[in-house]
Structure 1
Amino acid sequence: MNYQTFQPHPDLSAIVNFYWTLEVPFDVNNSKQKIIPDGFIEMTFNLGDKIKRYTSDSEFILHPCAMVMGQRTKSYYIEPTGDVNSFAICFYPYGFSNFVDTPLKNLVDKEIPLKDLLGEIAAKELEKKIVNASNKQQRIKIVESFLLNKLNEETTIENIVKTTVDALYLANGNVPIKDILKEDLSKRRQLERKFAKQIGVSPKQLGKVIRLQTALKMLLNNETESLTNIAYKSEYYDQAHFIKDFKEFTGVKPTAFLGNENMALSTLFYK
């Protein structure tokens, strides 16, 4: 697997986390890969063969060639039907709402064709440019030109949402919303509504995903560390709480994650 990441233009760095590319030659022995929630929203262009997303053990749908993947509340399996060649924009949780009018709660746990969000003409034009680009750097220039032009048409994200997301990341997801709002507790319902529209999930749900990512990276990079220490450093109440949350999102216990062939892609993404 050839996985690469690229940093965005400074004018987009507050909205776009990074760009990534993934190239995987087809192999009949390749196994299904489990994708774990990461708190981000992604715009993905599939330049290779079709990719299956399983909706049950045996049933699947095919990913659109150009799509937006909304916030995830649960893990899922994907499997390529041939060669993989993907290019994607990874947006911060509050970033993508700058470019669409659709409430992001409508995108949760879904892959939405780009044309349904940007309009058929604009989506087809962008997809055509991305497909015909000669290399990764040119694709980045194309998408950055599109995003910067689009950004000038939209209003900026409201400060209450960005402040909350920033605080959650700073605390690795483990901070009560009342502590973020301080004396402005009357804004809690307002915040919940704005999160549903601009992020897609609640502050509490995003915080759980961020905290899991902190623990997951620790698990991958310190494989010999005990689960008790990882739970403590990730600020879980105890090891049992950590294992419960981990299994809720990944479907397996932490000890079953390492070395699992179905987790190879997630390990590559999160390590």
Structure 2
Amino acid sequence: MQPWQFLPVHPELRQVIDTLLIMQVDDFSCLTVSSQFYHPWSAQTSMFLTLGEQVVKVKNYGENEFTTYPANFVMGPNLVERMVQCPNQHYVLGINFRPGALYRFCGISIEELVNQVVEASLIFGKAIDVLSQRIGAAKSKAEILNLVETFFFDKINKLGALNTFDTAIAKLVQAEGNIPMDEVAKLACMSEKQFERKALERLGMLPKLFARLTRFSKAYMIKETNPDISWSNIAHQCGYYDQMHLVRDFKLFSGSTPTVAKQKIQNSITAVTAFQNT
């Protein structure tokens, strides 16, 4: 079976949730690949709920020791290279938020959460720990989905409407980062300086970096899902001026060249294949 499964996001929740993902591994030792996974830079904010008993460990590039994460945690934008050590038995629900959504939930400047991990209860209250326990005891994916939807429907009913900044960033994401920043600022009805300040508050970074990371993430995803596509083809699809600009972003955001990244991606594909054949 596959180690992970995407769950459908309810249309009314798509303003705050990008993707829902369940990852369940009964025994990593049965695989031919390591349970350690490389995590490049990412502009995305996420929440992970541990549904089993074992939790993940993570270390940043240059560190010697792994740090044990809380069972349920919120992760801010990741602007460092990380290595994730999954436990041998791994059962987790991942929730990737839309850009700006985490700020709408907590009102805390996302700039303060860059490269940080905090207990989910500090953002969503003790109810999130109760939700994690109930999801862990759920008997079906449909029951899990119902629990998640009920929790977030209650949350979004208390949120205000999307503002002009949110809609402008949504356009930028839809264009995979390929819109000039002055045009995006105009969509938000702001000056470029105002737009930059708002981006730091709601995204945790300046809009140009956010756009570059959005484009890079698209390129990385294409290679993960279509490993035989050439890098020059990917550069063209993602709006890079040429392949060298793609190489530059890979060196900055993943700490390696596309050639090295290809091997890391191939290892992940091998892991998926191993699960599918069990």
TM-score between the two structures when normalised by the length of structure 2:
0.84
Trace 1:52-91 onto structure 2 (pairs within 5 A): 52-55=57-60, 56-91=62-97
Change (3 A) 1:100 1:203: same
Q: Does 1:33 align with 2:34?
A: no
Change (3 A) 1:85 1:175: same
Q: Say if 2:73 and 2:119, in contact at 8 Å, map to a contact too.
A: yes
Please name the residue that 1:115 is paired with. Answer: 121
Please name the residue that 1:15 is paired with. Answer: 16
Change (3 A) 1:38 1:135: farther
Q: Say if 1:72 and 1:109, in contact at 8 Å, map to a contact too.
A: yes
Q: Say which of 151, 154, 158 aligns to 1:149.
A: 154
Structure 1 stretches lacking a partner, 5+ long: none
Q: Say if 2:35 and 2:87, in contact at 8 Å, map to a contact too.
A: no
Q: Say which of 216, 219, 233 aligns to 2:237.
A: 233
Q: Say if 1:98 and 1:151, in contact at 8 Å, map to a contact too.
A: no
Distance 1:8 1:65 in 2: 23
Distance 1:167 1:138 in 2: 33
Structure 2 stretches lacking a partner, 5+ long: 273-278
Q: Does 1:131 align with 2:136?
A: yes
Q: Say if 1:115 and 1:123, in contact at 8 Å, map to a contact too.
A: yes
After TM superposition, the structure 1 stretch with the greater mean CA deviation from structure 2, 161-170 or 63-72, is: 161-170
Q: Does 1:252 align with 2:256?
A: yes
Instruction: For residues 226-257 of structure 1, give each alpha carbon's deviation from its aligned partner in whole angstroms, at most 9, with x where no partner exists.
Output: 43343233222332221111121112111112
Please name the residue that 1:6 is paired with. Answer: 7
Please name the residue that 1:45 is paired with. Answer: 49
Instruction: Name the aligned partner's letter for residue 5 of structure 1.
Output: F
Percent identity reads: 25
Distance 1:146 1:248 in 2: 37
| Root mean square deviation, CA, Å | 2.6
Q: The residue matched to 1:259 in structure 2 has which SS?
A: helix
Q: Say if 1:33 and 1:263, in contact at 8 Å, map to a contact too.
A: no
Distance 2:204 2:263 in 1: 32
Distance 2:186 2:121 in 1: 41
Instruction: For residues 198-243 of structure 1, give each alpha carbon's deviation from its aligned partner in whole angstroms, at most 9, with x where no partner exists.
Output: 2222211211111112222333455444433432332223322211
Aligned length: 266
Q: Does 1:140 align with 2:145?
A: yes
Instruction: Name the aligned partner's letter for residue 161 of structure 2.
Output: T
Distance 2:63 2:266 in 1: 13
Change (3 A) 1:201 1:127: same
Distance 2:14 2:173 in 1: 16
Q: Say if 2:9 and 2:19, in contact at 8 Å, map to a contact too.
A: yes
Instruction: Name the aligned partner's letter for residue 21 of structure 1.
Output: I
Structure 1 residue 38 displacement after superposition: 4.2
Change (3 A) 1:234 1:133: same
Q: Say which of 93, 112, 123 aligns to 2:99.
A: 93
Q: Say if 2:227 and 2:266, in contact at 8 Å, map to a contact too.
A: no
Distance 2:171 2:94 in 1: 26
TM-score between the two structures when normalised by the length of structure 1:
0.86
